[in-house]
Amino acid sequence: MGNPDVNSTAPRTSWRTPLIVIVAGCLIALVGFGARSAYGLLLEPMTSARGWGRETFAFALAIQNLVWGFGVPFASMLADRYGPSRVLAAGAVVYGIGTAGMATTTTGVGLTLFGGVLTGLGIALTSFSIALAAMAKVVEPGRQSLVLGIGTSAGSLGQVIFSPLSQLVIAEYGWDSALLFLAASVLFIVPLAFVLPGNAATDRHATIEQGLGDAIVEAVRHRGYVLLTLGFFVCGFHVAFITVHFPAYVRDLGLAAEVGAYAIAIIGLFNIVGSFLSGLAGQRWPKKNGLVVIYSLRALAIAGLLIADKTPSTIYLFAATMGILWLSTVPLTTGIVAQVFGLRFMATLFGFVFLSHQLGSFLGVWLGGYLYDRTGTYDVVWWAGVALSVAAALIHVPINERPLKRIYATADPAATSPPG
């Protein structure tokens, strides 16, 4: 039986219009991404209260990023097979339990279990890549890059909202109350998850029947997919290191804690603009060129921070610059995956790319805490971020983002273009 041909790539009930699905997906991204972006604000007060070194907290969040990364491909497979709603709802419950457990644990092992393993698994199951894939399936191919940009911007808006709000709760009620606030917040994902359509919808352009295993093999044999995956490692390194360690870095400079919290919020605010513009640019110009520019500018921004005098204005300027470049990689990266391989297994294929992102996140978060405890400075990690930016810019140059011919061909195996 062929796939249904509908105005969008997803069949819908009378009330599940594309607008409703997109709004629900954006709210899921807002809550899920916003809550986890506030963890860096807890590093200094939580380690001081528990008598831990920064490496203890950093290791737990590094494990969180690792579990998140390894969990996303499997969560995406479940979503591609059974639909996103149940996966997202279950993930929200696990996310909430893990975050609440962080408020009660008194040991490093407990922090790793609740904040690392359980919260990481919950974040994986509520990954905004699952919501983005559902959103992309309800619009025409020409608008997918824009919708992916809007969804990513929603996640950034969550960062704008949750960072200062969490800092306010920490200041007024304590860090443990802030964790309970975050745990309660992520439970709002449960009802939102059931607004998203199921997987009766597949890629209406895919005229060749293809299994999940075949799709994965096809992707890993495609040079552009491999290069895209390697480049996303660098994105994870930057984002996770800055999210977790930047507030403490600001405090080490002798600046007020509020400066670090505002900086994280500014990153999120400007990322709304950056992600949206990235989605628009992806509709007009080659997406790989946008990624080359983004990673090159990241190298300049980080180097500029290290060289400049450290004042609140410098911190805010860096935050604004990095905000524009923050998740602007996501619409372009997901857009290349969708453009080359189609939408049927988009969540799964991007899930493996995202695993690389989270391996980079693990290294950035853990290395930051490890080297700080031994050297008393973050400078080595900052300069490593500069070098990785340059490498990422270079490896995106040869990516071929032309769609595979089999996506648009008749069901003739000979029509499949070779990976390249």
- Enclosing H/E stretch for 19: helix 18-36
pLDDT tens digit sequence for 207-241: 456 677 788 888 888 898 999 999 999 999 999 89
The DSSP line for 351-411 is: HHHHHHHHHHHHHHHHHHHHHHHHHS-SHHHHHHHHHHHHHHHHHTTT---PPPGGGTS-S
Closest-CA residue to 348 (of 195, 233, 211): 211
Whole-angstrom distance, CA of residue 125 vs CA of residue 169: 27
- Enclosing H/E stretch for 300: helix 287-307
Whole-angstrom distance, CA of residue 210 vs CA of residue 369: 44
A 10 A CB-CB count for 277 gives 16
Whole-angstrom distance, CA of residue 93 vs CA of residue 99: 10
pLDDT tens digit sequence for 315-356: 999 999 999 998 889 889 988 888 888 777 777 888 889 889
Whole-angstrom distance, CA of residue 332 vs CA of residue 146: 10
Please say if the pLDDT value at position 201 is more than 70: no
Banded pLDDT at 406 (limits 50, 70, 90): low
**Which CATH topology does 18-198+211-399 take?**
Growth Hormone; Chain: A; (1.20.1250)
Whole-angstrom distance, CA of residue 328 vs CA of residue 160: 16
- The pLDDT of residue 416: 38
pLDDT tens digit sequence for 126-164: 987 788 888 888 877 767 778 888 887 888 788 788 888
Q: Where are the domains of the chain?
A: 18-198+211-399
- Of 69-83, 221-235, 268-282, which has the strongest mean pLDDT? 221-235
pLDDT tens digit sequence for 350-377: 888 988 998 898 899 889 988 988 888 8
List for the chain the helix, strand, coil content (%; round to 5).
80, 0, 20
Please say if the pLDDT value at position 383 is more than 90: yes
Which percentage of the chain shows pLDDT scores above 90? 40
- The pLDDT of residue 9: 45
Q: Which residue has the higher pLDDT, 5 or 189?
A: 189
- The pLDDT of residue 206: 46
The DSSP line for 142-154 is: GGHHHHHHHHHHH
- The pLDDT of residue 298: 97
Banded pLDDT at 303 (limits 50, 70, 90): very high
Could you tell me the end-to-end alpha-carbon distance of the chain, in angstroms, rounded to an integer? Answer: 31
